Amino acid sequence: MLHGISRRGLMKTGAAAGVLSMTGMPLKAATMGGKLTAGLGGANTSDSWDSRTHSDIFMIASAHGTVFDCLTEVAADGSLTGELAESWEASSDAKTWTFNLRSGVKFHNGKAFGADDVIASLQMHIGEDSKSAAKPIVEAIAEMKKMSDTQVVFTLASGNADFPYLMSDYHICMYPAGMIEEAIQKGIGTGLYAVESFDPGVRMVANRVKDHYKGDSAGFFDQVEYIAINDNTARMNALMTGQVDTINRIDFKTEALLKANPALRIQEVTGNQHYSFPMLTDQSPFSDVNVRKALKYGVNRQELVDKVLLGHGAVGNDTPIGPANQYYNDEMDQLAYDPDKSKFYLKQAGLDSIDIDLSASNAAFEGAVDAAQLMQASMNGTGINLNVVQEPADGYWSNVWLKKGFCACYWSGRATEDWMFATAYEAGVPWNDSQWDEKDSARFQSLLLSARAELDSDTRQAQYFEMQEILRDEGGTLIPMFANYVQAVNNRISSPDQIGNLWQMDNARMAERWSVA
């Protein structure tokens, strides 16, 4: 029966998830032992073991990927497996979720893991002045009830079929109840590795826990060391001279040098990370769908991928749903660069020509200003005079994004469609950067709500496919490209054939999945 389990079917039958997580082990035996040294950018002196504040790869890899566990885990192929939860089950309206926890799990300080820890860890994210990035996720839980030490029942305010997926969020790590403060100071989790030393913004070392519940199916190193190297060149040097085994975010300009080194290999995956240009649809001229269409056809997307990403990406279709999502609509037609259509839609809007300001800064993403200038050039002759306004990088997110009519932006994407839409495309949410709501498409908003509670995956797929089509045709956000995650690894470390594309560095889980070659 295991062959028949799709990732969608898995959602409904939580019991099967337990079976899968038991059997879904790597087929080839990995070498145990040795050490992984990684040079990672994205570190700060303000880093801590508080997963509520994590936002960049260094701490995500250290906490979520190494020292702490979540209830569920997104596997490299995108399917959902249990981590601290063994199985889960939903009521028919997707409102009540029963999670069965793994028994016999211990924190690094010896405390046994149980239902109380789950409830306490989730409660960390709510409360009036909580600054947790996972606050909206946890706030949707109306009630948490401990049934036994190994069972928790969550009652949601409204049905959400993606709830188990949300529990894999890297912000929602499991801490020991009653000693959360201590756990945050020292880094006490249930993960495969226990902290040996941690110097914020400098270095993290962790040792493999003996008798871990994941057994010998994961976590093959004796020790992992993450070194904070924010400087691109220093990171490349460290890899080239063999002082680290792997680095994240390689510099495309010097990629050829890495490729020429036979001891190294490059990993590249297209995930959900996308670069976007949101337009405020509640403001003129973007309130007119014809103007938005004229802009959509005026962008040469392939040129942006080739020149801004230097080929390390894929063209976007104005939807934020990417290849790492389960209901990614790869059947719909790709928006093409068509200046004539652009001109046509501008006519439809009753205009011969129009002046539009496009605000950009490299704070949005590396190369945003170049991208804006390429768009300006590609719209030559369509009647759209794009005026590129270069904004200061400091304060870009507070002064430009969400405030200027048309600007550059970036999203790392989300594991599920609903999560992405609920973050930036649902009417009224704070990060809705195109002010996309009922005035633009009542159909989209109603589909969003019904798909959220829909447990039948075929119906759900149809709904999400339609929503992506609506965004492509009428959406207020230009999404010309998806940026790949590109990292490099020394051949003395082996990694599975399929690596995760949800996040950099094999979903930040290289300590768990990679091994000494």
Question: What residue ranges bind another protein (CB under 8 A)?
Answer: 39, 44-46, 48, 50, 52-53, 55, 129, 131, 133, 181, 184, 197, 199, 201-203, 227-231, 233-234, 237-238, 240-244, 392, 394-395, 397-398, 401, 430-431
Report the residue number, 45 or 284, with the smaller CB distance to another protein.
45
Q: How far apart are CA 16 and CA 2, in angstroms?
A: 8
Report the residue number, 213 or 431, with the smaller CB distance to another protein.
431
Shortest Cβ distance from residue 230 to another protein (Å)? Answer: 8
Give the residue among 267, 499, 276 at the shortest CA–CA distance from 375.
Answer: 276
Helix 457-474 / helix 442-452 crossing angle, nearest 10 deg: 150
**Secondary structure letter of residue 360 according to DSSP:** E
- Kindly give, in sequence order, each residue whose CB lies less than 8 Å from that of residue 436, ignoring residues fewer than 6 positions away: 281, 425, 427, 444, 475, 476, 477
Shortest Cβ distance from residue 45 to another protein (Å)? Answer: 5
Shortest Cβ distance from residue 263 to another protein (Å)? Answer: 12
Shortest Cβ distance from residue 284 to another protein (Å)? Answer: 24
Shortest Cβ distance from residue 479 to another protein (Å)? Answer: 16
In 10 A of CB 179, how many CB atoms?
A: 17
Shortest Cβ distance from residue 201 to another protein (Å)? Answer: 6
Report the residue number, 54 or 108, with the smaller CB distance to another protein.
54
In 10 A of CB 368, how many CB atoms?
A: 27
Report the residue number, 172 or 356, with the smaller CB distance to another protein.
172
Write out the two tokens for 37.
């040294």
Report the residue number, 131 or 439, with the smaller CB distance to another protein.
131
Give the residue among 226, 165, 156, 220 at the shortest CA–CA distance from 195.
Answer: 226
Shortest Cβ distance from residue 36 to another protein (Å)? Answer: 15
Give the residue among 507, 514, 513, 484 at the shortest CA–CA distance from 60.
Answer: 507
Give the residue among 236, 244, 195 at the shortest CA–CA distance from 493.
Answer: 244
SS3 category, 509: coil
Report the residue number, 225 or 318, with the smaller CB distance to another protein.
225
Shortest Cβ distance from residue 199 to another protein (Å)? Answer: 6
Report the residue number, 54 or 296, with the smaller CB distance to another protein.
54
State the pairing for strand pair 35-40/246-247: parallel
**With contact defined as beta carbons under 8 Å apart, do 516 and 33 qualify?**
yes
Measured in whole angstroms, how far is the alpha carbon of residue 182 from the centre of its chain? Answer: 28
Report the residue number, 241 or 284, with the smaller CB distance to another protein.
241
Shortest Cβ distance from residue 367 to another protein (Å)? Answer: 17
Write out the two tokens for 15.
């019991």
Shortest Cβ distance from residue 41 to another protein (Å)? Answer: 11
Distances (CA, A) of 341 to 5, 31, 90, 296, 371: 44, 57, 47, 10, 21
Measured in whole angstroms, how far is the alpha carbon of residue 500 from the centre of its chain? Answer: 11
Report the residue number, 99 or 401, with the smaller CB distance to another protein.
401
54, containing H or E segment: none
Cross-strand bridge partners of residue 206: 195, 224
**Secondary structure letter of residue 204 according to DSSP:** E
Shortest Cβ distance from residue 124 to another protein (Å)? Answer: 9
Report the residue number, 344 or 431, with the smaller CB distance to another protein.
431
Write out the two tokens for 146.
């401990």
Report the residue number, 350 or 430, with the smaller CB distance to another protein.
430
**With contact defined as beta carbons under 8 Å apart, do 277 and 409 qualify?**
yes
